[in-house]
Amino acid sequence: MSDARIVDALGTHCPVPVRLLARAIARAPVGTKVRLLADDPLVAIDVPAWCHTHGHEIVQFTESGGTWTAIVVPTHAADRSRSDDTDASQMLI
């Protein structure tokens, strides 16, 4: 997985992990793997919901020892006019 961009959200809580993921996805070229590490259990709900809403693909999502790892691939270019490709009205909080 050395070719993946890593987003370390360990120690943060909702909505921070999804916002950090959104920023990384916004800056990643289409097809690049972005690996999110988080220990907030809400990522199990928030990450799939955010990816579904924004049309990005989760290729792997696992939990081990209280740490969730999500590998997300952007499927389209993010709207660069927005700072983090999120819309707070569409996030689960």
Percent of the chain whose predicted confidence (pLDDT) is above 70: 81
Residue 82 within a domain: no
Across the chain, what does the average pLDDT equal? 87
Residue 83 within a domain: no
CATH code of the domain containing 38: 3.30.110.40
- Which residues, in sequence order, are CB contacts of 52 under 8 Å at separation 6+? none
pLDDT value of residue 26 = 95
pLDDT in tens, 5-27: 999 999 999 999 999 999 999 99
Residue 31 within a domain: yes
CB atoms within 10 A of CB 7: 21
Which residue out of 4, 10, 14, 91 is catalytically annotated?
Answer: 14
Percent of the chain whose predicted confidence (pLDDT) is above 90: 76
pLDDT in tens, 32-44: 999 999 999 999 9
**Does residue 51 carry a catalytic annotation?**
no
Residue 59 within a domain: yes
pTM value is 0.81
pLDDT value of residue 77 = 82
* Tally of domains in the chain: 1
